[in-house]
Amino acid sequence: MSTRDYEGRRIIIYPHYIDARRSRRKGRKISLSKAVPSPSISEILKACEKLGLNPTHEDKSSPRSYDIRGRVVIDKKARKLELLHAIAREIKAMRSPR
């Protein structure tokens, strides 16, 4: 983690940020190998809760894909890209058979 102070800051996570079915041009923010196919809002919420990010669901649409509604607002505890990787890892772990 960086020495930057993230206290009180929040960031917005849209499902297409970590969706393996989307291209970078269509809004995916992490590499394809780390992305998750079709992540749902409920999966993102559960992953964020497990990571202690204090998630909140909002019924808003993304400017990039305005037809799909839903986003999650979380506490910023690290850089956004690091958090997206952690959320995708957690969703993959939740989906894997135990």
Domain assignments of the chain as residue spans, ordered by start: 10-95
Q: Average pLDDT of 40-63?
A: 95
| Residue tagged 């799909």 (tokens) | 68
pLDDT tens-digit series, residues 68-90 = 899 999 999 999 999 999 999 99
91 pLDDT higher than 90:
yes
Q: If pLDDT is split at 50, 70 and 90, which confidence band does 4 have? A: low
pLDDT score recorded for residue 1: 47
**How many angstroms separate the Cα of 53 from the Cα of each of 12, 47, 80, 94?**
12, 9, 12, 17
Question: DSSP per residue over 9-37, as a string?
Answer: -EEEE-GGGSBTTS-TTTT--S-TTT-BS
Q: Average pLDDT of 51-63?
A: 94
Question: DSSP per residue over 1-12, as a string?
Answer: --SS--TT-EEE
The domain 10-95 having CATH identifier 1.10.10.200: the answer here is: no
Q: The whole model's pTM is what?
A: 0.90
